[in-house]
Chains A and B, each alone.
Chain A
Amino acid sequence: MGKTARHLRPLAALLGAALALSTTACGGATDASTAAEAVDISGSISGQTINYWSMWKDGEPQQKVIAAAIADFEKETGATVSVQWQGRSNTEKLVPALNTNNVPDLVDGTFAKLAPVIGETGQASPLTSVYSYEVDGQAVSSVIPEKFTSNGVFKGEDGQPWMVPYSVSSDGIWFDAAKHPELKAKPPATWDEFIAVLNKLKAGGTAPIAADGDVAGYNSTWFVTALLRLKGAGSFKALVEDKSGEGWEDPAVLEAARKVETLVKGGYLNSGYNASKFPAQQQLWANGDAALILNGSWTPTETGSYAAPGFEYSSFQFPAMDNKPASARVDFIGFAVPAKSKNQVPAQRLAAFMLSAKYQNALGTEAKVLPVRSDAPVDPAVASVKAAIDAAPATHLQNDGVTFPGFMEKVFFPKDDELFLGKTSADEFIAKMKAAQIQYWKDNS
């Protein structure tokens, strides 16, 4: 005992010292001040520097457009932008950084990724000044379509917007217009017309719908969009928020599940969709082995390298139901400024700068994505999606904006997968979801 104790004592002293060291090193930076106010961003920013953590990687089409914009921004304003082209994991890296005083001044990402980590945690600066800042002689708020902002999606708890979108993505049911000109001429507008198209394709020996069934996010689009068609944008979120789970008893919810069941039981999905690995099915679709695929507005860029020769991308919207106006899915990609950033003014100015027509046009024509400004031209491959967004009376987010911790991954996706992969019926799905949701809120309220 005596010997070990003599050895332990200095070790214990060391441990104590090390603990003290590390706590002082990390201490003090944990509590974030969240009471940030909008700042005046109109002054000169010459000589100032900002750190920007980008969601794009060097060489990506969007990166090239943003890099060009930054070069112009530096020339015009005299500010310096130090960029890290981090890629999509920038939001994961942002989370730990927000607990220190060493935060980036500007980050970008999809709304779905930024909202949980910076928007809803009160860690973002209000960007009200960006919205009122003028680019090309117009206020930013007037170049962003009103239907994108009118539902208050960018507003934080303080009622001020924390995100400025510069690009959007959407979805559609994609097809090869060279092979199916009839779909381009007259896309199915209602669910019944859609089923008629599927029957015709099936009778003609073509697999009607390709689907990468291993991507739960793609599978869920069918049920969620069907529900939004029946009950309107925001109805899925309202359904999920219901702690009693009673909402699942609504006949319209069952109806949405039945629509998915129809696709599965009707044999409209390409055989093997339930046992393959992404991107096998979308490759097969791009090769012309299946006619339709429900996927994002990124489909032309993602499948372009292996599409059959002469493939002409076009899409129609998820069909309307019950004569109700159909909202278009619009997911936002944009900037946020961490509240702890010490270079608020230049960071917010750069966010506004990306809304200039020059870079918006470049996003549409060079990067071939959808710019947030509706007056910006786009590539023909995504023209059908843009037309649908422009025409839609309202918009909705992917998964209707549901971000409750773990709900999608642990509660909804597994059950929805069972429905879409043909393992449960619509009625079983409803019953299981109701029970699982009640349990979820019991554990998480």
Chain B
Amino acid sequence: MTLHLTEPRTGGAPAQSPESLKPAPRKSRRGSRPGGSSIDVQRKKLLIPFVGPAFVLYTVLFIVPALGAVWISLHKWAGSGPMKFVGLDNYGRIFRDQLFLSSFGNTLLLLFVVGTAIFVLAFALTLVLRDMAGKKIARNVIFFPHLINALVFGVLAGFIFNPGGIVNSLLAPLGVTDPPKWLAQDNIFPLIMVTLVCTTTGYFTTILMAGVDRIPPYYYEDCALAGASAFQRLRYVILPLTWDVFGTCAVLWTISSVKIFEIVWVFGGSSGAGVPPTQSWTAAVYTYVNAFSGQSTPAYGAATASAVLSLALISVLVVLLRRAMRRDAVEF
């Protein structure tokens, strides 16, 4: 068996003739009975008892609160007491708020810059780890940081980067008398980005490795015989055969990156005792501070408006991503 390396992958939806989109052939397949085949009838009967409970729970616990959030975002409200309807004012206000825009910008930085770094590193590690001796141990080691609570990194950052911390103590014997101000407000967000790359790469590497492990070894033998380089192996074997796994990972990262909150919260602002410096805020932190800062009257309207915008962002991005990454799964 050989893989046709030169065969172009089909982009987008599989080409279909206009006729095939018509319902006629499907109808004939299902037979002429008006209610569909007996299997279809059975399926329909089971829909409510099987899907119903989950659907009701999901609606009550997720959809209704989400709609509630949209409703609250149209009001000026301190969380309790009277609500004042203000229409779309909250949205207008947060779009005019430089702080929301910069927080949102940080969220996009996490999503795209950190995301790119994570997947480039994850694929690189995948290539290295496949052939490495003791790869199981290596895999565990790189996955480990993902298990650790973000709080730990927040506290560790202090130990490592404080003026009298480990880094400066190590630099001092090397003659660095005026080390950079690692934890200055402007440096906190870059540090958070680096930390996220370090902690998340292992997680996605592990998932991608699981996909890579499925690839039968004879493709690699084929590559070796054809004299393919490591990059060509990635380009023509690994990527196409793990594309669906990669797509899922990308969606997972998109969803989780838009919600990143706790690591920002503990990195700045005295490990959660205060509010982190605004330079490191993400949209999620912006939402939280508006509702729960504890230092001023809660602004639930503005907070939910920013949460609703984040939800809209995730939805649009996931749809776009699914579209952009749509390929026919290669069967092997």
Give A residues with C-beta under 8 Å from B. 1-3, 6-7, 10-11, 14-15, 17-19, 21-23, 30, 32, 34, 91-92, 95-96, 98-99, 112-113, 116-118, 120-123, 212, 214-217, 271-272, 274-280, 284, 399, 402-410, 413-414, 417, 421, 443-444
Question: Is the pair B185, A421 in contact by a Cβ cutoff of 8 Å?
Answer: yes
Once the chains are docked, how many angstroms separate the CA of A443 from the CA of B99?
Answer: 13
Once the chains are docked, how many angstroms separate the CA of A116 from the CA of B300?
Answer: 12
Question: Is the pair A406, B268 in contact by a Cβ cutoff of 8 Å?
Answer: no
Q: A14-B52, A214-B277, A275-B182 are known contacts. Are A407 and B296 too (CB-CB below 8 A)?
A: yes
1/0 per residue, CB under 8 A from A, across B8-40: the answer is: 000000000000000100000000000010001
Having A21-B60, A215-B274, A413-B278, one finds 16 other A-B pairs with CB under 8 Å, namely A14-B52, A18-B55, A18-B63, A22-B59, A22-B64, A92-B292, A112-B295, A214-B270, A272-B162, A277-B183, A277-B270, A280-B162, A405-B290, A409-B295, A410-B278, A414-B277
What 8 pairs between A and B have smallest CB-CB spacing? A272-B163, A278-B270, A275-B181, A121-B81, A277-B158, A98-B80, A18-B59, A95-B79
Which B residues from 157 to 199 make CB contacts under 8 A with A?
157-158, 161-164, 181-185, 187
Once the chains are docked, how many angstroms separate the CA of A277 from the CA of B164?
Answer: 11
Q: List 11 A-B contacts (CB under 8 A).
A: A7-B47, A14-B55, A92-B294, A95-B80, A99-B80, A120-B78, A272-B181, A405-B78, A406-B289, A410-B278, A421-B185
Q: How far is the CB of A13 from chain B (nearest CB, A)?
A: 9
1/0 per residue, CB under 8 A from A, across B42-77: the answer is: 001001100110011001100110000000000000
Q: How far is the CB of A371 from chain B (nearest CB, A)?
A: 24
Question: Is the pair B48, A14 in contact by a Cβ cutoff of 8 Å?
Answer: yes
Question: Is the pair A216, B23 in contact by a Cβ cutoff of 8 Å?
Answer: no
Contacts of A409 in B (CB 8 A): 275, 289, 293, 295-296
Residue of B nearest to A414 (CB): B278
Across the interface, A216 reaches (CB within 8 A) one of B47, B183, B271, B275, namely: B275
Which B residues from 268 to 316 make CB contacts under 8 A with A?
268-271, 273-275, 277-278, 289-290, 292-299, 302
Contacts of A113 in B (CB 8 A): 294
Once the chains are docked, how many angstroms separate the CA of A295 from the CA of B275?
Answer: 17
Q: How far is the CB of B188 from chain A (nearest CB, A)?
A: 9
Question: Is the pair B97, A277 in contact by a Cβ cutoff of 8 Å?
Answer: no
Q: How far is the CB of A295 from chain B (nearest CB, A)?
A: 12
Interface majority SS on A: helix, strand, loop or mixed?
helix
Q: A18-B59, A410-B99 are known contacts. Are A122 and B182 too (CB-CB below 8 A)?
A: no
Contacts of A18 in B (CB 8 A): 55-56, 59-60, 63-64
Once the chains are docked, how many angstroms separate the CA of A297 from the CA of B99?
Answer: 33
Across the interface, A278 reaches (CB within 8 A) one of B55, B82, B273, namely: B273
Question: Is the pair B78, A280 in contact by a Cβ cutoff of 8 Å?
Answer: no
Contacts of A98 in B (CB 8 A): 79-81
**Does B136 interact with chain A (Cβ within 8 Å)?**
no
Residue of A nearest to B168 (CB): A272
Once the chains are docked, how many angstroms separate the CA of A396 from the CA of B158?
Answer: 33
Q: How far is the CB of B88 from chain A (nearest CB, A)?
A: 14
Contacts of B290 in A (CB 8 A): 405-406
Q: How far is the CB of A173 from chain B (nearest CB, A)?
A: 20
Q: How far is the CB of A21 from chain B (nearest CB, A)?
A: 7
Contacts of B63 in A (CB 8 A): 15, 18
Across the interface, B181 reaches (CB within 8 A) one of A10, A274, A278, A417, namely: A274
Across the interface, B297 reaches (CB within 8 A) one of A96, A212, A272, A405, namely: A405
Question: Is the pair A284, B164 in contact by a Cβ cutoff of 8 Å?
Answer: yes
Question: Is the pair B296, A32 in contact by a Cβ cutoff of 8 Å?
Answer: no
Q: How far is the CB of A397 from chain B (nearest CB, A)?
A: 12
Contacts of B130 in A (CB 8 A): none
Question: Is the pair A272, B164 in contact by a Cβ cutoff of 8 Å?
Answer: yes
Q: A92-B292, A214-B270, A414-B277 are known contacts. Are A406 and B80 too (CB-CB below 8 A)?
A: no
Once the chains are docked, how many angstroms separate the CA of A99 from the CA of B274?
Answer: 27
Contacts of B80 in A (CB 8 A): 32, 95-96, 98-99, 117-118, 121, 123
Contacts of A214 in B (CB 8 A): 183, 185, 268-270, 274, 277
Contacts of B97 in A (CB 8 A): 410, 443
Once the chains are docked, how many angstroms separate the CA of A98 from the CA of B82?
Answer: 12
Once the chains are docked, how many angstroms separate the CA of A410 from the CA of B295?
Answer: 11
Residue of A nearest to B269 (CB): A214
Residue of A nearest to B67 (CB): A19
**Does B235 interact with chain A (Cβ within 8 Å)?**
no
Contacts of B296 in A (CB 8 A): 116, 402-409
Q: How far is the CB of A57 from chain B (nearest CB, A)?
A: 15
Once the chains are docked, how many angstroms separate the CA of A118 from the CA of B80?
Answer: 8
Residue of A nearest to B272 (CB): A278
Residue of A nearest to B65 (CB): A22
Question: Is the pair A280, B164 in contact by a Cβ cutoff of 8 Å?
Answer: yes
Q: How far is the CB of A15 from chain B (nearest CB, A)?
A: 6
Which B residues from 187 to 213 make CB contacts under 8 A with A?
187
Q: A32-B81, A405-B299 are known contacts. Are A15 and B270 too (CB-CB below 8 A)?
A: no
Q: A409-B275, A413-B275 are known contacts. Are A274 and B184 too (CB-CB below 8 A)?
A: yes
Once the chains are docked, how many angstroms separate the CA of A14 from the CA of B298?
Answer: 35
Q: A15-B59, A410-B278 are known contacts. Are A443 and B93 too (CB-CB below 8 A)?
A: yes
Contacts of A413 in B (CB 8 A): 275, 278
Once the chains are docked, how many angstroms separate the CA of A123 from the CA of B78?
Answer: 11
Q: A19-B64, A123-B80, A212-B270 are known contacts. Are A116 and B297 too (CB-CB below 8 A)?
A: yes
Across the interface, A275 reaches (CB within 8 A) one of B93, B184, B273, B275, namely: B184
Once the chains are docked, how many angstroms separate the CA of A402 from the CA of B297?
Answer: 10
Residue of B nearest to A443 (CB): B93
Contacts of B81 in A (CB 8 A): 32, 34, 98, 121-123
1/0 per residue, CB under 8 A from A, across B141-167: the answer is: 000000000000000011001111000
Question: Is the pair A120, B297 in contact by a Cβ cutoff of 8 Å?
Answer: yes
Question: Is the pair A11, B99 in contact by a Cβ cutoff of 8 Å?
Answer: no
Interface centre among A113, A403, A405, by most chain B C-beta atoms within 10 angstroms, is A405
Contacts of B302 in A (CB 8 A): 405-406
Once the chains are docked, how many angstroms separate the CA of A34 from the CA of B80?
Answer: 11
Q: A96-B79, A121-B81 are known contacts. Are A417 and B277 too (CB-CB below 8 A)?
A: yes
Residue of A nearest to B53 (CB): A14
Q: A216-B275, A279-B270, A406-B290 are known contacts. Are A117 and B79 too (CB-CB below 8 A)?
A: yes
Q: A14-B48, A421-B185 are known contacts. Are A406 and B273 too (CB-CB below 8 A)?
A: no
Q: How far is the CB of A179 from chain B (nearest CB, A)?
A: 20
Q: A123-B81, A409-B293 are known contacts. Are A6 and B44 too (CB-CB below 8 A)?
A: yes
1/0 per residue, CB under 8 A from A, across B77-91: the answer is: 011111100000000
Contacts of B82 in A (CB 8 A): 34, 121-122
Residue of A nearest to B163 (CB): A272
Q: A121-B80, A414-B278 are known contacts. Are A404 and B297 too (CB-CB below 8 A)?
A: yes
**Does B4 interact with chain A (Cβ within 8 Å)?**
no
Question: Is the pair A277, B52 in contact by a Cβ cutoff of 8 Å?
Answer: no
Q: How far is the CB of B47 from chain A (nearest CB, A)?
A: 6
Q: How far is the CB of A63 from chain B (nearest CB, A)?
A: 19
